[in-house]
Amino acid sequence: MTADFKSHILQFKRPGGTSRGVLHTKETYILTVEENGRKGIGECALFRGLSSDDVPGYEEILSWFCENINAEPELLEERLKRFPSIWCGYEQALLNLKNGGSLYFPSDFTAGKASLKINGLIWMGDVPYMQAQIQEKLAAGFDCIKLKIGVDWPAEKKILTTLRREFSRDQIELRVDANGGFTSEEAKTVLRELAELEIHSIEQPIKAGNRNQMQTLCRETPTPIALDEELIGVVGISQKKQLLEKIKPQYIILKPSLIGGFSGTDEWISIADEMNIGWWITSALESNIGLNAIAQYTFTKKPKIPQGLGTGGLFTNNFPSDLVLTGDQLSMV
């Protein structure tokens, strides 16, 4: 087997606003493996400023991996377990090599016989821009909407209040994602105000790494809390158990590119199910290559609630895709 990679800089159609800043581009790496004339494609979706493997020498590690593609899997895993985006791309490439075409996890989803329900994502911006996005999602038929918050809470609260006046929680499920944008004290107030608006959940209200504070918030919160960035960089099943046993969140958000690929995600799901912690799977600004693989994987996990998958429509220079969005249903053709 041989392997090679190339970088690709995805260009946003419109800058994406989050509490961590505004995104104009998204760097990623496309991995190709070849064996006996067959090829497999995967995406090593490095997320600068967020991935635990955003470290100097990332491309050198990718080069080492490609040069040692035929090493024992145990050696590769030992070397790459701290590089979740590379491991995720490796898993994708092997699955694609095995299944061919654009297939990673053959199922009724890939056969076009089933679909995945997803939430509609509202990016940060000024109030008119956010309201325009909401109207667009509602018109398209979404009944689960996720808003990025944490930059201007009074303005964001007004948007949520207006939405809730128009639509009851039986009509529209509202999720919010703070990306760690609040302090612990601010979060207590926000959690109470979100509960008054019957918000489904809030992702990562405070910055990751403050486990004692997060534990207290999860124990006392009137609004369910979902851990997101908190999971990044936690390697090993015992460490994952320790984290969830300590904080006891209501939900966890699973981004395969950031948490060790599909095998790493499987571990988180197994632990969460044992502890009766809810979960959903979310893409992390992958190109259509990684998004396709993650969507196929997500279907195999038989999710019970709307998932946080992208649609590939954010970028001007994305790759071709078999994914199609009809209303809030993501499917393959």
Active site amino acids: 148, 255
The pairing of beta strand 21-35 with beta strand 38-44: antiparallel
With CA atoms as reference, report the closest residue to 226 among 198, 195, 252.
252
Query: For residue 309, which amino acid is it?
Result: L
Q: DSSP letters along 247-287, please?
A: H--SEEEE-TTTTTHHHHHHHHHHHHHHTT-EEEEB--S--
DSSP secondary structure, 88-123, as one string: HHHHHHHHHHHH-TT-SS-STTTTTS--EEBPEEE-
Residue 234 exposed, middle or buried by CB count within 10 Å (0-12, 13-18, 19+)? buried
d(CA 97, CA 119): 31
- One-letter amino acid for residue 250 of the chain: Q
CA torsion angle 99 104 108 113 (round to 10): -100
User: Which is nearest to 52 in space by CA: 227, 202, 201, 234?
Assistant: 234
Helix, strand or coil, per DSSP, at residue 326: strand
User: Burial, 73: exposed, middle or buried (Cβ in 10 Å; 0-12, 13-18, 19+)?
Assistant: exposed
